């Protein structure tokens, strides 16, 4: 029995090296890189972690069996081991379970959101967009949708629930092809660049606008967006547990963290500062100038803060007025979104992106506006 205990302890020592390499690769100056990194988790790395945990459980149970059960150890030690080992095994099994539970998150901050991204963020075409491949389709009208994560469909498990896909189906795929150029984190400047570089010239341009599209210009012009560092509200060694392991990470992100008010103040200042606003409108003019150069018809949908709708409309009204002055059709959404219960407007508890119901509304409103034209 002693020899079996020793062999198990030796194997646990080797597993310890495996543990540090898998969970603390930065300590070895190792960086895991794979398709979708860092937004996406890796199925292969999780498989390696699963193997580690299962091997560890086997060795722990082996030591418990030969060291406690078979050897009839001291009663106190036996009692402690009988309590500790089942708790440890239970926690490990919970960790394994949460390695496979996806949950979308606004900033792709949580491990559950990385699992979600790996599982649901498909397809991704050769240009990096969450969309079908670009092909030459003569005889069809081309609709280009530009925007940020709301346009890209962040949080939607089925890409067919996204407003651009719904719109293509309603317009008729035999007559129209809708390409989605949405990209998480994009601002107006990024969107203009993507639109101008896209290999297909548009007949119709649809701009999805969200109030944070002014962020980068605001920061560039001196506004500060104070945001606490991730996990700054917890202390070591809890930080390392929360940031590296799935179960504590999932629990952590179910709790409230940074409030909305700080971001709201930033947006309010950005839109009321004429220097920032004028710079932002110059970025928008790159899109409207491209519209004019191609002869495309252009529509804009303003997605509000889904729980602060009236404030959003007040902030972005100068942008709406500017686009209207450039011949852009601004498609109203707020009256329709108001009829959707607040909890049903977003994709989830930790993700404030537009739900399938809001996407359907956007598609229907766009189709209605296009029919009028």
pLDDT recorded at residue 228: 56
Q: Tens digit of pLDDT for each residue in 204-233?
A: 999 999 998 998 898 888 887 665 567 777
Q: What is the DSSP string of 308-354?
A: SHHHHHHHHHHHHHHHHHTT-EEEP-HHHHTTS-HHHHEEETTEEEE
Q: Which residues contact 135 (CB under 8 A, 6 or more apart)?
A: none
Q: Tens digit of pLDDT for each residue in 128-167?
A: 999 999 998 888 999 999 999 999 999 999 999 999 999 9
Q: What is the DSSP string of 280-314?
A: HHHHHHHHHHHHHHHT-EEEEEEPPPTTSHHHHHH
- List, in sequence order, the alpha helices (H) in 172-273: 188-197, 215-220, 238-244, 246-253, 261-272
pLDDT recorded at residue 133: 97
Its sign, for the CA torsion 275, 279, 284, 288, is positive
pLDDT recorded at residue 119: 94
pLDDT recorded at residue 259: 54
pLDDT recorded at residue 66: 83
pLDDT recorded at residue 1: 64
Distance CA 266, CA 277 (A): 13
CB 287 within 8 A of CB 191: yes
pLDDT recorded at residue 230: 77
Cα–Cα distances (Å) from 9 to 17, 18, 22, 59, 74, in that order, read 13, 14, 20, 8, 20
Threshold 0.75, pTM exceeds: yes
pLDDT (tens place) for every residue of the chain, 373 residues total = 678 778 888 899 999 999 998 999 887 777 887 778 778 899 999 999 999 999 999 999 998 888 877 777 678 888 898 999 999 999 999 999 999 999 998 876 799 999 999 999 999 999 999 999 999 888 899 999 999 999 999 999 999 999 999 999 999 999 999 999 999 989 999 999 999 999 999 999 999 999 989 988 988 888 876 655 677 778 878 888 999 999 999 999 988 776 555 677 888 888 999 999 999 999 999 999 999 999 999 999 999 988 877 778 788 999 999 999 999 999 999 999 999 999 999 999 889 999 999 999 999 999 999 998 8
């Amino acid at each position: 029995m002693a020899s079996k205990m020793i062999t198990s302890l030796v194997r646990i020592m080797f597993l310890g090296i495996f543990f540090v390499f898998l969970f603390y690769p930065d300590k070895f100056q190792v960086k895991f890189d794979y398709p979708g990194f860092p937004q996406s988790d890796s199925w292969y790395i999780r498989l390696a972690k699963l193997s580690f945990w299962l091997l560890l459980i086997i060795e722990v149970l082996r030591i418990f069996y030969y060291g406690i059960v078979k050897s009839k150890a001291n009663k106190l030690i036996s009692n402690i081991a009988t309590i500790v080992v089942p708790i440890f095994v239970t926690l490990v099994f919970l960790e394994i379970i949460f390695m496979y539970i996806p949950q979308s998150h606004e900033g792709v901050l949580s491990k559950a959101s990385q699992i979600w991204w790996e599982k649901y963020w498909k397809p991704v075409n050769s240009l990096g967009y969450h969309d079908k491949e670009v092909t030459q389709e003569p005889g069809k009208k081309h609709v280009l949708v530009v925007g940020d994560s709301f346009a890209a469909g962040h949080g939607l498990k089925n890409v067919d629930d996204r407003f651009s896909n719904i719109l293509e189906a309603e317009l008729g795929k035999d007559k129209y092809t809708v390409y989605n150029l949405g990209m998480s984190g994009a601002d107006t400047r990024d969107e203009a660049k993507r639109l101008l570089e896209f290999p297909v010239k548009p007949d119709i341009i649809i701009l999805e606008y969200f109030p944070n599209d002014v962020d980068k210009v605001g920061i560039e012009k001196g506004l500060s967006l104070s945001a606490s560092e991730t996990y700054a509200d917890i202390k070591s060694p809890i930080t390392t547990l929360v940031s590296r392991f799935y179960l504590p990470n999932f629990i952590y992100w179910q709790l409230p963290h940074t409030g909305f008010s700080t971001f709201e103040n930033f947006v309010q200042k950005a839109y009321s500062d004429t220097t920032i606003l004028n710079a932002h409108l110059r970025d928008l003019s790159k899109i409207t100038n491209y519209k004019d150069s191609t002869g495309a018809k252009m529509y804009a949908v303003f997605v509000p803060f889904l729980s602060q709708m009236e404030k959003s409309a007040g902030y972005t009204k100068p942008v709406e007025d500017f686009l209207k002055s450039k011949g852009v059709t601004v498609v109203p959404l707020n009256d329709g979104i108001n009829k959707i219960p607040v909890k049903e407007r977003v994709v989830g508890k930790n993700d404030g992106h537009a739900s399938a119901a809001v996407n359907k509304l956007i598609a229907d409103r766009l189709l209605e506006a296009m029919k009028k034209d």
